[in-house]
Structure 1
Amino acid sequence: MATEIRVPSLGESVTEAQVGEIYKKVGDTVAKDESLLELETDKAAQELPSPVSGTIAEIAVETGDEVEIDTLLMTIDEGDGSSQTDKDEDKGSAAASADSEPGKAHDEGQSGGKADEGKGGRLIEVNTPSAGESVSEADVGEIYVKVGDTVKADDPLLELETDKAAQEVPAPVSGVVREIVVSEGDTVAPGDLLVKIEEGAQSSSSASGSDEAADYGGGQAIHGESGTTASRDERHDGEMDGAGRDPAPAAKKLMAENDLTKSEISGSGKDGQILKGDVLAAIERGKDESSSPAPKKESKPAPKRPQSAPDDAEREERVKMSRLRQTIAKRLKGAQDTAAMLTTFNEVDMTAVMELRKKYKDLFEKKHGVKLGFMGFFSKAVCHALEEIPAVNAEIDGTDIIYKHFAHIGVAVGTDRGLVVPVVRNADQMTIAEIEKEIGRLGRAARDGDLTMADMQGGTFTISNGGVYGSLMSTPILNSPQSGILGMHKIQERPMVVGGQIVVRPMMYLALSYDHRIVDGKEAVTFLVRVKESLEDPERLVLDL
């Protein structure tokens, strides 16, 4: 029976997509849930899995084609689509079993890779994926594998950095890495060849468990079979033992290069996972300690400084900016050059919100499974103010003003890669609990490097919380093409006059930067006053006042 593969629904307001990479060709066998091709929309790129196992009978589109929802993409003749792959894997398993017999592993290990050829299948090319609209190239970041490594399907092979974000390229099949055609720092375009994998193959070192254990330097992610993994762990004195997740691949490589173990590093990722930034921080701490002068054993006159001090150039370090950092710089400078930016300030008494949090935080967390923070209150207060002052939620497009009758609130998050702004979509229709949950999810994804293009597109207004770093006041820069950004700051106890009496209150300065081309001063000040009123009297948020 033939099964037609058509363009699925792509989400709210998305009516068409562009065909990206096509992973199969006519005659190829596929297994259920195996990726067939990639579809790119103005929101994100997504892979389309096969709903059945079978053989590709027809491919009705080509890379680059514009397709609408329900357009025919492929036809699959149902059957045992994974049979060839299974046969290859069965052969590999049989060969592996043979290798485990006495003498065979050693003989084949000396045969110059013949065992790999016998176990393997076709060479699969791993190309640079499309990274979304307007992204035409990327830089090769960390490479997690080396030639000869055994990988499983979906294991990360390397990292690509674009001007939008960093993403890992997974292995499309299980097998052995036969060729790596790029190096760290190379610039590649969508479709460029990155790696070749021999499908279904197993490295001779995986079978013997000796060569790889002897040569292992820790500069790769652990993707081998359980025996290989165990030998690697033993070589690192139990580094992978204990609770918590394994370090991220980039962190693991850096740890091995600098002879660091998990016990020497505090992980800041999900479940305590060690990230690359954690390793860099540990290395920096080590440099500081090693550079500290040793205590003097006896008091002697300090030696005279050499006549010729090192040149400043010798003490400089030149590092290429990542594409994400280049984009941040370009966008921020572009906002200054384009918009007529102006900032207005106010201050808010946080007493009511803090007392509300204190009173209900335990009950809130018990019911909703998330802590009650400040961002939920601020996001709701902003949504209420945007309804009254729609110009702050608008953007300029040529000679037109586009008013957004919805609130997609961007939340600026600082990461070790730079500033990212994931978006809480339709925040105006969410409860405080729902907003807190979504902000928590986006924050974890940002720290773990798992944000998608869809997570960071479509924002209409941005909130930046410099207070978490101790900032008392700032003038935030617009996130183009948005027309407003709210800056939160440190809560500081200050003497205030209330009812003719001087009292100590927890105060926060608020800053609203806005585009004066479409937002008048009266509107900006009114917007900020409405935010202040909602936070000083949180019941207004509940009563929609």
Structure 2
Amino acid sequence: MSNISIDVPNLGESIGEAVVAKWLAKDGELVHKGDTILELESDKANVEIHAPETGILRVKAAAGNTVKIGNQVGEIQATSETSGTSEVLPPSPETVVKEKKMFLTDSEWVEETSPLEQAMARTLLKSRQKTVPATTYTDIDMSKIIAIRVQHKEDFKERFGVKLGYMSFFCAAVTSALREFPIMNARIHDNQIIFNKNVHLGIAVSREKGLVVPVLRNVNRMGHAEIEKKIDQMTEKASQGTFDVADLRGGTFTITNGGIFGSLFSTPLLNSPQVGILGMHRIDYRPVALKDENGVMRIEIRPMMYLALTYDHRFVEGKFAVQFLGRVKASLEQQDEKIIFQSTIE
């Protein structure tokens, strides 16, 4: 039998390379079909690679190497299992061990950036170079949403078995706005704009090695409870590093929440090839000028949040971006409490 190549698989949209994080089998070792033999890291997820056949593993790309999609990282030398041995053969010439270096002085040190950090930097730079990002901002009064959560959180938890968080409100508001402004739910392929009938939201989730953006599919068909359950599952996967490649593919719009780290105001970066990303921030109580139905002004302290919308100005006109963000703001500030118990948000 001929040797079987182990290549870097397609890891999702906008991911062009990965880092060989760890070989779980040694060069020259007998592995069995289906064994997990390799972990790859991209700027968005860890991916396990399994042996395509039983045979002797030959490593072609050592741990720490950066490899492009489709590159060969190893091969299986087909053999018979009849011997029942797991003999380790001498390493192949391609096997190289790379170590992270650190240089210390009396008052400072220099640490080499990891291949994963370098890959993330290249991805961000590529996105910046190939898009024309612009950002528009607004603030929202969170009074209504906070009141709904306080009033219904116990009933919601008892009925659905999950906490009522803020994110489901934002997913619902964004989904409604995306249906009204379909250009914001599109993605770019070469010079074409691909529109999407359904809404697949990328939700930025924090992990030890940076953010990862798994995708909530068909959010327009979900209710608040299902959204909250899916987000809990995402958070659990992020903490355990168990995302599959499929979890990261096909997003049409992204929401990121810098508020969980205390951010008051920021400019989110586009998640190419998407044309829009919404940035949430922390809630601060601030004095706000309000006008009653008689036109009389008053000052009240309200829970306020800044929102930032970054969009690709090559394809999205500024007026549509501003109108889209205004639609999100109106949905959140005029939230109907009945919707949280519905099976779908539409």
1:509 to 294, 300, 306: 306
Does residue 1:132 correspond to 2:132, yes or no? no
AA of the residue aligned to 2:47? Q
Give the 3-state SS of the residue equivalent to 2:115 in structure 1. coil
After TM superposition, give the deviation of residue 487 of structure 1 in Å.
Answer: 0.5
Shift of 1:410: 0.8
Three-state SS of the structure 2 residue aligned to 1:477 is coil
Question: Is the 8 Å Cα contact of residues 178 and 198 (structure 1) preserved in structure 2?
Answer: no
SS at match of 1:192: strand
Partner of 2:94: none
CA deviation string 1:90-140 (max 9, x = no partner) = xxxxxxxxxxxxxxxxxxxxxxxxxxxxxxxxxxx8863542279887543
* Residue matched to 1:82: none
The answer to whether the Cα contact below 8 Å between 1:381 and 1:541 also exists between their aligned partners in 2 is no
Please report how far the alpha carbon of residue 311 of structure 1 lies from its aligned counterpart in structure 2 after TM superposition.
8.2
- Give identity over the alignment, percent: 42
Aligned AA for 1:520? E
Matched AA of 1:461: F
In 2, Cα distance between equivalents of 1:147 and 1:334: 34
Residue in structure 2 matched with residue 430 of structure 1 by the alignment = 222
Query: CA separation in 2, counterparts of 1:353 and 1:170?
Result: 46
| Aligned match for 1:340, one of 132, 142, 147 | 132
Q: 1:197/1:413 Cα in 2 relative to 1: closer, same or farther (>3 Å)?
A: farther
Number of the residue aligned with 1:253: none
Q: Is the 8 A contact 1:473 1:489 kept in 2?
A: yes
Mapped contact 1:164–1:453 kept (Cα < 8 A)? no
Please report the RMSD computed on the Cα atoms of aligned residues, expressed in angstroms.
3.7
Mapped to 2, the partners of 1:395 and 1:154 lie a distance apart of 35
Q: Bigger relative contact order, structure 1 or 2, given CA contacts below 8 A and separation 6+?
A: 2
1:326 deviates by 3.9
Work out whether 1:359 is the aligned partner of 2:157: no
2:330 match: 533
**2:207 corresponds to which letter in structure 1?**
T
Conserved 8 A contact 2:56-2:76: no
- Measured in 2, the distance between the counterparts of 1:152 and 1:382 equals 47
| Greater radius of gyration (CA) | 1
Matched, 1:320 2:198: no
In the other structure, the counterpart of 1:160 is 40
Deviation at 1:393, TM superposition (A): 1.8
Deviates more, 1:129-138 or 1:359-368: 129-138
3-state SS of the aligned residue for 2:113?
Answer: coil
After the TM superposition, which residues 56-135 of structure 1 pair with which residues of structure 2 at under 5 Å, given as runs?
A: 128-132=6-10
Amino acid at match of 1:185: G
Q: Is the 8 A contact 1:328 1:419 kept in 2?
A: no
How far residue 403 of structure 1 moved from its aligned partner, in angstroms, is: 2.7
Indicate the residue corresponding to 2:75 in structure 1. Answer: 193
**Greater helix share, 1 or 2?**
1
What letter corresponds to residue 185 of structure 2 in structure 1? N
Q: Displacement of 1:385 after TM fit?
A: 0.8
Which residue of 1 is the match for residue 93 of structure 2? none
What is the deviation of 1:489?
A: 0.2
Change (3 A) 1:460 1:195: same
Equivalent residue number for residue 184 of structure 1: 63
1:164 and 1:195 mapped to 2: Cα distance?
31
Q: CA 1:448–1:153 in structure 2 vs 1: closer, same or farther (change >3 Å)?
A: farther
User: What does the per-residue CA deviation read over 1:185-239, in whole Å, with 9 as the maximum and x for residues that have no partner?
Assistant: 25673472279998584789xxxxxxxxxxxxxxxxxxxxxxxxxxxxxxxxxxx
* 1:451 counterpart = 2:333: no
Q: Is the strand fraction higher in 1 or 2?
A: 2
CA offset at residue 349 of structure 1?
Answer: 0.9
Deviation, 1:486, is 0.6
> Separation in 2 of the partners of 1:392 and 1:326?
30
Name the SS for the 2:194 alignment partner: strand
- Structure 2, unaligned runs of 5 or more: 88-103
Structure 2 vs 1, CA of residues 184 and 395 (structure 1 numbering), >3 Å: closer, same or farther? closer
Question: In the alignment, residue 132 of structure 1 is paired with which amino acid?
Answer: N
Query: CA offset at residue 424 of structure 1?
Result: 0.8
| 1:512 match: secondary structure | strand
Question: 1-side partners of 2:7 and 2:162: how far apart?
Answer: 36
CA distance in 2, matches of 1:190, 1:360: 54
Spell out the pairing of 1:208-219 with structure 2 (5 A cutoff): none
**How many Å apart are 1:408 and its aligned residue?**
1.0
Partner of 2:96: none
Query: Following TM superposition, by how much is the alpha carbon of 1:345 offset from its aligned partner in structure 2, in angstroms?
Result: 0.9
CA shift in 2, pair 1:518/1:346, >3 Å: same
Letter of the 1:193 partner, please give it. E
Counterpart residue number, 1:494: 286
With normalisation by structure 1, the TM-score equals 0.50
The residue number in structure 2 matching 1:141 is: 21
One-letter code aligned to 1:539: D
- Of 174, 189, 195 in structure 2, the residue corresponding to residue 403 of structure 1 is 195
Deviation at 1:328, TM superposition (A): 3.1
Cα distance per residue 1:237-295 (max 9 Å; x no partner): xxxxxxxxxxxxxxxxxxxxxxxxxxxxxxxxxxxxxxxxxxxxxxxxxxxxxxxxxxx
Q: Does 1:481 align with 2:278?
A: no
Q: Which residue of 2 aligns with 1:45?
A: none
